[in-house]
Amino acid sequence: MNGSPKDTPAPGRPLESSAGTRSSPRAVFPLIFEQSRAGRRAWSLPEPGVPNGDGSLDELVPKEYRRTSPPQLPEVSERDLVGHYTRLSQRNWAIDVGAYPLGSCTMKYNPKIAEEVAALKGFAGLHPLADDELVQGALELLATLEQALCTATGMARLTFQPAAGAQGELTGLLIMRAWHEARNDKRRRVIIPDSAHGTNPASVTLAGYQAQEVPSDRRGLVDLDALRDVLDEDVAGLMLTNPNTLGLFERDIQEIASAVHESGGLLYYDGANFNSIVGVVRPGDMGFDIVHMNLHKTFATPHGGGGPGSGPLAVSEKLERFLPAPVLAYDEVTQRWRWDEDRPDSIGRIHSFHGNFGINVRAYAYLRSLGPEGLRKVAEHAVLNANYLRALIGESFPTAYEGMCMHEFVSTAKGLKKHGVRAMDVAKRLIDFGYHPPTVYFPLVVEEALMIEPTETESKETIDGLAAALNEIAREAAEDPDILHAAPVTTPVRRPDEARAARNLRVRWHPE
């Protein structure tokens, strides 16, 4: 141990990083593995304690099955474990810490009541293979949530199995495939807009299809003519998020839908942006046949640093029979809910059990606390906040496309290039002003993209402050771009070297 002044955090390092790093220079934050001392323990478990035991462990588990050397896990006290992860948590941004305007991610407030109810033993303590009779409350919750989500999307039935949006996409595409195959209609391509989220093409490939991109037109919308050109009897369907990734509503959606349907394809709705239209317009009414939702976006379940989510997949009546088995069924006679496994046309199971039930409980709590009027207000204010912010920063960061946006918009920082400033510099500098940056360099179709989604739970004051900061940063870029290049200065680390991370790969700790 040394207590040299280098121990004190460099200026701008948060206090907690100094708390965490008594020992090593320049406030390196130690790993829990580096705090290990042989013989220390946090664990507290009972003795095996079997009366007149059943022979020794060696008899029960012969040596050939046994581990030869113990796993290299740290040995720490519970006190040090708690200190480590508490300080570590303080080195992380979160919705509960401040604004999080990440485009396409819908980082809205996650109600605390949802956490409380999800922890009830009657939900958290349920075994997934318990007899249906034991879990009627859980099944009723799921049934009510299914009905509400189908109502909101204009679909007939859904499955809760997909653990996230991407898994919902694959599920939907496999259903698309099953539908065509059931009609002995072999098709090989699925169309996606060039602005589509990466999971769309990736899911298309996984579903055994080829992804074909259609360009956006100058409006940032699907180019109808270009679409018509690529549509033929080899096209299984079109994947679309509406509003699209640019935050623009595909106003030609009905023409798009009929064009796709006429060519014998199906329309897939990527629900990641559902937040901006819930209660206002339903995918089903726009002509979509298949819809996934990201409950961890529109329905405010916490994102957990990258997950868990929940990506229920809903379909129109004609596709119902293909849904993954089992589906919920109500027995009028016994007045009981049960899982119906007898689904001959099902594409099969997509999750180990029933999907991320705990997340669905939270989404249900959110849905029930808002009700129909509340949900519509969500869409209204998500769109209001986005357009308001867009108006406030329009001069510094013009949007790539004209006209009103929906819940998010894509600005460009290319105007700052002449000062040698990139979108990433703007993002990093924004951190110093106390905001999480927007999504940068996505979608790829926009140069120096800043994709901003304030969400409806941010107040006017927050958006005013965010706009003031962005405008100020634009001014700094012109007058003193190095401020931006040096940013951020208020964080525990600054501009970690990602290239080096990939070059000298270190993906786990091991003692030097």
Partner 1 sequence: MDFLPHTEEDDRAMLEAVGLESLADLFEGIPSDVRLDYPLGIPPALSEPELLDHLAALAGRFAADDSLCFAGGGVYDHHVPAAVRALASRAEFATSYTPYQPELSQGVLQALFEFQTAVCAIYGLEVANASLYDGAHSVVEAVNLALRTTGRARVVAGATVHPHYRQVLQTYTSALGVEVLTAPYDAAGTVDWTAVDMTGAGAVVAASPNVFGCLEDVGAATSAAHADGALAIVVSDPTSTGLLASPGELGADVAVGEGQGLGSPMAYGGPGVGLFATGLEHVRQVPGRIAGETVDADGLRSYVLTLQAREQHIRRARAASNVCTNQTLLAIAAGIHLCWLGPEGLRRLGEVCVTRTAYAARVLGRLPGCRIRFPGPHFKELTLETPIAADDLARRLAGRGFVIGPGLGRWFEDLSNCLLVAVTERRTTQQIDALGEALEKELAEG
Ligand X SMILES: Cc1ncc(COP(=O)(O)O)c(C=O)c1O
Binding site for ligand X (CB under 6 A): 104-105, 164-166, 197, 199, 241, 245, 270, 272, 294, 309, 311
Residue 27 CA: distances (Å) to CA of 6, 454, 495: 8, 33, 16
65 binds, among its own copies, partner 1, ligand X, none (CB under 5 to 8 A by kind): partner 1
Which position among 5, 11, 125, 511 is part of the footprint of partner 1 (CB under 8 A)?
125
Burial class (CB in 10 A: 0-12, 13-18, 19+), 338: middle
**Contact between 300 and 105 (Cβ < 8 Å):** no
104 binds, among partner 1, its own copies, ligand X, none (CB under 5 to 8 A by kind): ligand X
Distance CA 284, CA 269 (A): 9
**19 Cβ contact partners less than 8 Å away, ≥ 6 residues apart:** 87
DSSP annotation string for 188-214: -EEEEETT--THHHHHHHHTT-EEEEE
| 218 is an interface residue for partner 1 by CB under 8 A | no
Cis check: omega of the bond before 162, within 30 degrees of 0: no
Residue 491 CA: distances (Å) to CA of 15, 88, 93, 434: 11, 13, 10, 10
Strands (E), 169-264: 189-193, 210-214, 235-240
Cβ-based neighbour number of residue 252 at 10 Å: 16
Residues 91-110 that bind partner 1 (CB under 8 A): 91-97, 100, 102, 105, 107-110
270 binds, among its own copies, partner 1, ligand X, none (CB under 5 to 8 A by kind): ligand X
**Contact between 443 and 273 (Cβ < 8 Å):** no
In the complex, minimum distance from the CB of residue 497 to ligand X, in angstroms, rounded to a whole number: 25
466 binds, among its own copies, partner 1, ligand X, none (CB under 5 to 8 A by kind): its own copies
Cβ-based neighbour number of residue 157 at 10 Å: 18
Which position among 237, 271, 312, 437 is part of the footprint of partner 1 (CB under 8 A)?
437
Burial class (CB in 10 A: 0-12, 13-18, 19+), 463: buried
Which position among 447, 459, 468, 480 is part of the footprint of partner 1 (CB under 8 A)?
459
**Contact between 423 and 413 (Cβ < 8 Å):** yes
Nearer CB in complex with ligand X: 356/457: 356
Which position among 8, 136, 233, 317 is part of the footprint of partner 1 (CB under 8 A)?
136
| 509 is an interface residue for partner 1 by CB under 8 A | yes
Contact positions toward its own copies, by CB under 8 A? 1-5, 7-9, 11-16, 18-23, 35, 37, 40, 44, 77-80, 82-83, 86-87, 90, 93-94, 96-98, 109, 111-112, 369, 432-435, 457-459, 461-462, 464-473, 476, 489-492
Q: Which residue is nearest to ligand X (CB)?
A: 165
**497 Cβ contact partners less than 8 Å away, ≥ 6 residues apart:** none
Cis check: omega of the bond before 302, within 30 degrees of 0: no
Residue 163 CA: distances (Å) to CA of 147, 315, 359: 19, 17, 9
Which 3-state string (H, E, C) describes 439-477? EECCCCCCCCEEEECCCCCCCHHHHHHHHHHHHHHHHHH
| 427 is an interface residue for partner 1 by CB under 8 A | yes
Nearer CB in complex with its own copies: 270/458: 458
| 39 is an interface residue for partner 1 by CB under 8 A | yes
**Contact between 427 and 355 (Cβ < 8 Å):** no
Taking CB under 8 A as the binding criterion, the range among 191-199, 263-271, 412-420, 445-453 that sits at the site for partner 1 is: 191-199
Taking CB under 8 A as the binding criterion, the range among 38-46, 408-416, 446-454, 474-482 that sits at the site for partner 1 is: 38-46
Window 359-388: contact mask with partner 1 (x via CB under 8 A)? x-x--xx-xxxxxxxxxxxx-xx-xxx-xx
Nearer CB in complex with its own copies: 140/472: 472
333 binds, among ligand X, its own copies, partner 1, none (CB under 5 to 8 A by kind): none
| 144 is an interface residue for partner 1 by CB under 8 A | yes
| 123 is an interface residue for partner 1 by CB under 8 A | yes
493 binds, among partner 1, its own copies, ligand X, none (CB under 5 to 8 A by kind): partner 1
| 1 is an interface residue for partner 1 by CB under 8 A | no
251 binds, among partner 1, its own copies, ligand X, none (CB under 5 to 8 A by kind): partner 1
241 binds, among partner 1, ligand X, its own copies, none (CB under 5 to 8 A by kind): ligand X
Which 3-state string (H, E, C) describes 309-326? CCCCEEECHHHHHHCCCC
In the complex, minimum distance from the CB of residue 280 to its own copies, in angstroms, rounded to a whole number: 22
Cβ-based neighbour number of residue 160 at 10 Å: 26
Phi/psi region, residue 184 (left: phi>0; alpha: psi -120 to 50; beta: rest), is left
Nearer CB in complex with partner 1: 50/333: 50
Nearer CB in complex with ligand X: 17/294: 294
In the complex, minimum distance from the CB of residue 453 to its own copies, in angstroms, rounded to a whole number: 15
3-class DSSP state of 183: coil
In the complex, minimum distance from the CB of residue 372 to its own copies, in angstroms, rounded to a whole number: 17
Distance CA 292, CA 240 (A): 11
**Contact between 403 and 302 (Cβ < 8 Å):** no
Nearer CB in complex with ligand X: 201/326: 201
Question: Which has the closest alpha carbon to 9: 24, 506, 293?
Answer: 24
Nearer CB in complex with its own copies: 199/457: 457
182 binds, among its own copies, ligand X, partner 1, none (CB under 5 to 8 A by kind): none
| 420 is an interface residue for partner 1 by CB under 8 A | no
What residue has token string 């946006």? 405
